[in-house]
Structure 1
Amino acid sequence: MSEDLGFGWQSGLLDLPAYLKRIGYDGDPRPDAATLRALHRAHVTAIPFENLEIILGRPITLDLATVQGKLVDRPRGGYCFEHNRLFAAVLEKIGFEVVALTGRVSMGAAKLLPGTHALLHVRTPGQPVEEPALLCDVGFGAGPLEPLEIPGDREADQDGWGFRLRPGRVTTAWSPSTHLWEMHQRSPDGWIQRHTFALDEAFRVDFDVLNHYVSTSPRSPFTARPYVQRFSPEALHVLDGTTLTTRRPSGESSERALAPEQVPGTLAEVFGIVLDGDDPARLVKALDGSNLDV
């Protein structure tokens, strides 16, 4: 067996039929734009965003076997590095040209924040370089439902949800060739800059380093409380700690507080996440502020 030098996404280790069944894709996937859009939509709406392993005191591991076992073989989800680790392998297996990128999540903040988000820049085989590529963002938890053209400046209305890409502002004189982009999402109060990213290639090892920070640092928002999202054309469901929020494309929203013991059932009913073993009890203890070593 040849040495793994860290390039590519190890798609030879992927169980593609199991993945397609998990996301409800019925067909013969081909490396074309129509297939990519369908796969993106199916993935985003089938596999939720969640950080529960961190809250349960377990590490997030990005080897393909572990990610596939969690997101495909079990009724679980993950966050951006897990989602895009899996989706990159899927696209590579089908025959797409895949380049990973990393982004800085801002959610409207002016402060410079670290690069903690993963995205994928995808082309069909042999696609001319002058034609727009497709930006895939399956791991944010709140869409988009389908890829966005890049470069591109059109607002995308996807089943009532609004997204757009805009060229960003480069602030460093030493990198005049940097191509910076901003992802915007439409909210009831107007457009909000969701994250920025540069067209600089990232690799599996970069995912590993960033994943370590996101999953272990006390400064990371994902080490502080459960954060779960389920996105569909009809609604965005968000569990933030013990607060359950539902937003609609119209801008309508509702919110309710849950008791800690209600959370495991809500995860199953609303998010399709079924915790097994003693994990439901451990999660309730974590939400109660109790020690997880039970």
Structure 2
Amino acid sequence: MKQIISTRYLNKLGFEVDFKPTQDNLKTLLSLHVQHIPFGNIASFLGEEVSLEPDRLVQKLLIENREGYCLEHSSLTKIALTELGYEAYNVLGRVYYQGIPTTVPVRTHLVTLVRLDQQLFLYDPGFGGMTPTTILSLDRIGEMQPTPLEPFRFVDIAACGIDTSLLTDMKYMLQVFLHDEWVNVYAINPEQKIAPADAEIANWYISTSPESMFTQHLMLFTANSDARMTLKDRVLRIHAKQKSDKKILSTFNDFEETIKNVFQIEMNQEKLQQVWDKLALIE
């Protein structure tokens, strides 16, 4: 792009003061990111190409006000944060949220790590419904780290309760505290910096495989300091600090209003109708 990506990024997030690559500003960026750039997979759900080319990421996420999944979010943030003066790089993790696998999960979850003030931080706006809404330190293994919503922590994989044979090449497990217990989210190895080609392979699998949930189900997420909002197919859930609400979207008008007002995604009615029609095929 002719315009520096980080400038577009700051404008999109509404960051209007002079920027310096500090820890406080990194926290602010992530908080703003999850509020202004929604997670989602409309493109792969409709069988469309998902590109990780920087100019196309900028066009989709920062200009067209569309959604994206982890590979899009973290590819973009690695570039933007590097331009802003941070030491940022990507790694691929294995997902263990909502169940223990019987085989080793494919490394498909892309995150951005940032080395700052002699610490290493996770900057991950793209995990969907259980996205950490602030940065988390990888130098505080085993310690609870509060966020505006749920507490998180990193533990050594030996302490996560999963057989190490299912954790190939992983080092730490991210866990979230839900319903009075620690729940596994995903595992990463901070030493495994990836090349862009590694992300491309993961993206191809996620966006095209019939075994990928990103081609079979619609998933959207956004958050603020008070609540998480998720959409799985036609089920809208709002998880606030004190209560959770659930709503089934039974009409196209409800669906369109939710996409535009809750998730702030801009999309023409024809494409939204295509999504709604495919949702009708899902039992």
The correspondence for 2:164, drawn from 160, 171, 191, is 171
**Structure 2 portions without partners, runs of 5+:** none
Q: Give the whole-Å Cα distance in 2 for the aligned partners of 1:239 and 1:264.
A: 12
Question: Which residue number in structure 1 is paired with residue 37 of structure 2?
Answer: 47
Q: Give the whole-Å Cα distance in 1 for the aligned partners of 2:170 and 2:81.
A: 24
Q: Give the whole-Å Cα distance in 2 for the aligned partners of 1:160 and 1:228.
A: 18
Q: 1:70 and 2:60 equivalent?
A: yes
Question: Which residue number in structure 1 is paired with residue 46 of structure 2?
Answer: 56
**CA drift at 1:108:** 4.5
Q: 1:132 and 2:119 equivalent?
A: yes
User: 1:72 aligns to what SS in structure 2?
Assistant: helix
**CA drift at 1:162:** 1.2
Q: How does 1:1-294 map to 2 (within 5 A)?
A: 14-111=4-101, 112-124=104-116, 127=117, 131-141=118-128, 142-152=130-140, 153-169=142-158, 171=164, 180-199=171-190, 200-250=192-242, 252-261=243-252, 262-276=254-268, 278-289=270-281
Residues 47 and 215, structure 2, Cα contact 8 Å, conserved in 1: no
Q: Give the whole-Å Cα distance in 2 for the aligned partners of 1:86 and 1:14.
A: 12
**CA drift at 1:56:** 2.3
**CA drift at 1:280:** 1.7
Residues 260 and 284, structure 1, Cα contact 8 Å, conserved in 2: no
Task: Classify 1:224/1:189 alpha carbon distance in 2 versus 1 (closer, same or farther; 3 Å).
Answer: farther
| Regions of 4+ moved over 6 Å | none
User: 1:123 aligns to what SS in structure 2?
Assistant: strand
State TM-score, norm by structure 2: 0.89
Q: Give the whole-Å Cα distance in 1 for the aligned partners of 2:5 and 2:119.
A: 30
Task: Classify 1:171/1:69 alpha carbon distance in 2 versus 1 (closer, same or farther; 3 Å).
Answer: same
Task: Classify 1:260/1:85 alpha carbon distance in 2 versus 1 (closer, same or farther; 3 Å).
Answer: farther
State TM-score, norm by structure 1: 0.86
Cα root mean square deviation, aligned? 2.1
The superposition leaves residues 254-273 of structure 1 with CA deviations (integer Å, 9 ceiling, x where unpaired) of 11111251312211111111
Q: Give the whole-Å Cα distance in 1 for the aligned partners of 2:157 and 2:185.
A: 12
